[in-house]
Each structure stands twice: as C-alpha cells, then as structure tokens.
Amino acid sequence: MLDPRKPPAGFRPDDPLRALGIRPPGAGPDPALLARIDRLEAQLAKLEWLLDCRARVERQGLVIPRLHAPDPEVFFRDYWVTLRPVVLTGLVDHWPARSTWSLAHFRKLGNPEVELQWARESDPDFEPNSPAHRRRMPWQEFLDLLEADPTTNDFYMTANNGSVNRQALAPLWDEIGPLPGFLERNRMGDGFLWVGPRGTITPWHHDLTQNFLLQIEGFKRVTLASPAETLRMRNHRHCYSRWGQDARPATGAGAPATFEVTIGPGEILFIPVGWWHHVEGLTRTIGMSFTNFVWPNDFARSYRSNRDLWP
Ligand SMILES: O=C(O)CCC(=O)C(=O)O
C-alpha cells in the first residue's frame, strides 16, 4: 500500500523538476539542450552559406531585362521558375484602363466612400502599422487631393485598402484584363489598386507570393534586392527591413546589392516571391498589382515567420 506521507521507492528529490524539464540548481546547462543549439547553429550556418553563394554569383552580373510581349511559356521558363525579376512590356495595351484611366475618368464614378492609407509621414513604421493608418473618405475628396498635385508620402491608396475599394470602385475592375496565359481570367477581381501622389514610398519588404506590379499612369522607381541578400537586409520582423524608407541603405561590406528599375504606363514588373523591394512614386501614379497567376502561387500558406526575427 502506498503511504502518501512517504516518498515512493527510488524517489529523488529533484524528480518533479526533471519532469518539468528543469535542471536542478548547480547541475549546469543541459547537455541535450547544448547539443540542440549546436546543431541549430550548424543548420543556420549551412543556410547562410547557401544564400551567400547565390548572392556572390548574382553580384557577378544579374540584370533585370525588359521583355516585349513574351509568350507565357517563355516567361514561365525564364523568369517564373528561375525567380528572376523582369519588366514586361506590350502585354496590357488592349486593356480599356490603358486608354481610359485618368483623374477625369475617375471623377465619373460618383462619390463612393473609399479607403486609403493616411498620416504616414508622422510614423516611421507606417507600413507595419498600416491597419492604424486606414482612413475612409469620399472618392471625390481623394481626387481633389490628387489634383492639387502635392509631393507627399502622407496619403496613398494601397493594397492594404483592397477589400473596401474593390467594392466601392467596382466599375474599374470591368476595365482591366484579360491577360491570357498569365493571369486567371475569373480572378481578375483579386487585383489591388495603387493610387497616389508624387512622393509615395513603399518601404523595403518582400511579398509572400509572386507578384505583377502594373503601371497605368505615371512612373515608379523600384529598387530590388535578391532573397539571397536577406542577411544584409536587416530583416528584424516578418517581411520588413530596418532599412525602411531608404532606397540606398548602405555602402560597404554590410550593404545589400540592389537593382533599380523604373516602370511607366503599360509596363509590368514581375517581382518574384521573397525579392525585397522599395517603391517610390516619381509622379502621380495609378497602378495595380496581381497575384492571380495561372501557376500555383500559394506560398503564404506555409509561411511561419510573421514575428520578430533578428534584433
Ligand atoms: O507600388 C507600390 O508602391 C508598392 C507595390 C508593392 O510593394 C507590392 O505590390 O508588393
């Protein structure tokens, strides 16, 4: 019979601590834990080495070409599966939006309530904090702001406002597409609208999908850095970088190699998944982005790093 007042045979005073995985005082670090940390370090060093080999080769001469009206198969073979950025021209000239979209055309949509990003200049972390910067306003008021032609990063209609604006501005989606062989025709409604004044900045980040960034009006300068540069991108949290709003963040050994392209009306930049990018509006801009490719693009589902990463 077990006597509850006496310990069972073989009982050691530190047994409850062991059961909780706690080492008794004075026992020193757990050798199993040390071995695990050592293995993790070696695994991380292996991944770092593989990335660095890629970065070193890319620095020898990667270029971001411009390609006119390629066949989807050529784009797939040379860019989609090789994860190389490219500027595509001549693919969307047949879209009604290319000839109709302008502030004057937008005025004809009435005065629905739209959503934009607002008061960005007072917050250096406006992009990670984007939910707090949402603001609703009448469409015509937003167009007034754009027509005044300021140079500012304080307001911008972005993908973060997508769900509200897709409904509010639904007729615009009748004026885009199709892009057969590249984008799924029945999912063009998933596209995101980007409309802003000269001076908008989208700070350094990478997407969790492959992405087409399309310009309808105006010009954007996009600075890109390969995923192989991630260890130089100061990736402190989720998909963001401490290089933030600075397109040319550093020089010297710690600096990532960057590539600069400017896209204008009718041009599409293919931004492969994981490629870092920083985007600046050089003029007033109207654009869209798309992720509804005919090829599988659901990389976000397996992403596990939406949190703090490096200090
Ligand atoms: O056009 C912009 O300002 C940013 C676009 C972008 O970063 C994206 O589509 O991921």
pTM score of the predicted model? 0.92
State the chain's mean pLDDT as an integer: 95
CATH number of 64-297: 2.60.120.650
Burial class (CB in 10 A: 0-12, 13-18, 19+), 310: exposed
Q: For residue 285, which of 107, 151, 171, 135 has the smallest C-alpha distance?
A: 151
Q: How many angstroms separate the alpha carbon of residue 42 from the centre of ligand 1?
A: 35
Amino acid making up residue 84:
R
Reported as a pLDDT band with limits 50, 70 and 90, residue 2 is low
Task: Tell me the one-letter amino acid at 87.
Answer: V
Residue 8, pLDDT > 80, answer no
Decide if 297 contacts 291 (C-beta within 8 A). Answer: yes
Q: Report CA(217)–ligand 1 centroid distance (Å).
A: 15
Tally of CB atoms within 10 A around 127: 21
Reported as a single tens digit per residue, the pLDDT across 256-287 is 999 999 999 999 999 999 999 999 999 999 99
The residue whose two tokens read 């954007």 is 220
Q: Which residues line ligand 1 (CB under 6 A)?
A: 194, 200, 202, 207, 211, 213, 220, 277, 279, 287, 289
* CA quadruple 256, 259, 263, 268: dihedral sign: negative
Report the C-alpha gap between 225 and 205 in whole angstroms.
10
**Rounded Cα gap, residues 227 and 277, in angstroms:** 10
What percentage of residues in the chain have a pLDDT greater than 90?
87
**Contact 165/129 with Cβ under 8 angstroms?**
no
Ranges of each domain in the chain: 64-297
Phi, psi of 131 (to 5 degrees): -60, -35
Q: Which atom of ligand 1 is nearest to the CA of 220?
A: 1
Atom of ligand 1 nearest to the CA of 207: 10
CA 241, 242, 247, 250 torsion-angle sign? negative
